Amino acid sequence: MDKIVALSKRRGFVFPSSEIYGGLASSYDYGHYGVLLKDNVKARWLEAMVRERDDIVALDSSIILHPRVWEASGHVSGFSDPLVDCRTCKQRFRADHLADPEHEEVRCGKRPSKRPGETPVCDLTEPRQFNLMFQTRVGAVEETGVDVYLRPETAQGIFINFKNVAQIARRKPPFGIAQVGKAFRNEITPGNFIFRTLEFEQMEMEYFVPPDEADEWYRYWVDERYRWHLRYGVRESHLRVRPHEAEELSHYSSGTSDIEYLFPIGWSELEGIANRGDFDLTQHAEFSGTKLEYVDTATGERYVPHVIEPAAGVGRTVLALLCDAYDEDDIGGEQRTVLRLAPHIAPIKVAVLPLVNKDGQPEKARAIYEQLRELWPTEYDAGGSIGKRYRRQDEIGTPWGVTVDGQTGEDRTVTLRDRDSLEQVRVPLDELGDELGRRLADPWRS
Ligand code: GAP
């Protein structure tokens, strides 16, 4: 994890937030390559969920919703962690992590570092429930304002729009509503870089189905989402599906499976797929007084659809992709760090480099760059030795490098370098676009 954090900072993927003020726990800012990488993850998700299908539509709901939404969803009463405080070291711990061997990393703030409660000076409070939702106020005047919450999940914005979408998009179950957006949780346990943050983006889809088809669709979505992660290069040996035990299930769920990734911190949740039954639509119907059901106008059949929910985190997916792609190898006695990112995920697809900064090579390289950037995210890089520039592109995961050299002026060919095989071939300039397009369309092999 230290290597991933260092590379992310060095190459401008992710920075600790508010760093010049000493940082803010569990908060990170995405730099240029981080934004491009994150955008690619979201685009691939929307592609698989919306663009390539006929049965799912998109939504972008508000972050601040009517406060009753969170009463209906159970978040006001139930979305909380049991916490204990240490009066000596002032740290806060999840009560359920204290004796849990899976959470050996939880340590007291005093030396010698032991489990909280084991250091002689430890003075722990009784567990107290702590709601994870951030609260704020809407209204011009403090006294007359209304308490509202920043959404802790995007899902509820979807449920409360069920009627709008079902009627206006004239959808009949099975159909889904997909949303990508920010969510906020007042997380107090250590974040492990971007694995757990206060502010994060979710990619959630609520799939509304006839009640008697729920089990079948639940299995379908577990498989479908597992395959999506493999499609973008995550190693099969680093990915698994873990069905929840009965006692782990959320109050609304009759079945949940986590897709887990083997992060450097161990197997941890990357995405959850839940069979939420009719809990959400029934609750919102009761709290709002609006009927949320499907009515077949031809047959008169009516029912409250059940919901299957695949819910993934953008930051967690970015972290899994970075961990899986990170590699170190040896080129002619020199160590290189390389991100073997799938081309569809890589922030930059192709870098164009003049071999030397003279003899008209920079001008030729720049002209090629200007053509290619109309097709794909491309970078022009003329600073430093060619070796250094290759290393830089390898570290940001650019799959291909195009080098303009002395021969380019003579026969209008360039060198095309492959990041992973290190193979270099000469390609006529007129064929470069087609060749890159062909390589990009090839199925990805890690
Ligand atoms: N609507 C269901 C729901 O929100 P969740 O398992 O709490 O379920 C779904 O969240 C996904 O959102 C998780 O699998 C994870 O990828 C991401 N996620 C949740 N909390 C997060 C946090 N504090 N920081 C980063 N990602 C988080």
Residues near ligand 1 with C-beta < 6 Å?
153, 155, 185, 187, 196-197, 200, 202, 204, 269-272, 309, 311-313, 315-316
Rounded percentage of the chain residues whose pLDDT exceeds 70: 100
Owner of token pair 């159970």: 74
- Beta strand 28-30 with 14-16 is antiparallel
Average pLDDT, rounded, for the chain: 93
DSSP assignment letter at 1: -
- Of 110-114, 254-258, 261-265, 358-362, give the lowest mean pLDDT range: 110-114
Model pLDDT, residue 446:
65
Distance 161 CA to ligand 1 centre (A): 21
Region 22-39 average pLDDT: 96
* Beta strands per DSSP E along 216-355: 239-243, 255-263, 266-277, 294-295, 302-303, 306-313, 326-331, 334-339, 350-354
Residue 100 in this model has a pLDDT that exceeds 90:
no
* pLDDT range class, residue 106, cuts 50, 70, 90: confident
pLDDT for 296-327, tens place per residue? 888 999 999 999 999 999 999 999 999 999 99
Which amino acid appears at position 125 of this protein?
A: T
Q: What is the pLDDT of residue 296?
A: 87
| Nearest of 206, 209, 203, 207 to residue 182 by alpha carbon | 203
Q: What is the pLDDT of residue 430?
A: 97
Q: 136-165: per-residue pLDDT in tens?
A: 999 877 777 889 999 999 999 999 999 999
Q: State the burial class of residue 231 (Cβ atoms within 10 Å of its Cβ: 0-12, 13-18, 19+).
A: middle
Cα–Cα distance between 124 and 110 in angstroms, integer? Answer: 13
Question: Is the pLDDT reported for residue 108 higher than 90?
Answer: no
Residue minimizing CA distance to atom 8 of ligand 1: 311
- Sheet with 306-313, strands from edge to edge, namely 56-58, 175-184, 199-209, 306-313, 266-277, 255-263, 239-243
Distance 319 CA to ligand 1 centre (A): 14
Letter for the amino acid at 295? V
Residue 194 CA: which ligand 1 atom is closest?
Answer: 25
- Full-model pTM: 0.91
* C-alpha 255 to ligand 1 mean position (Å): 17
Q: 304 with 295: CB under 8 angstroms?
A: no
Relative to the CA of 314, which ligand 1 atom is closest? Answer: 16
Atom of ligand 1 nearest to the CA of 274: 2
Q: Are 217 and 207 in contact (CB under 8 A)?
A: yes
Query: Residues in the chain, how many?
Result: 446
Per the structure block, which two tokens stand in for 412?
A: 């209008």
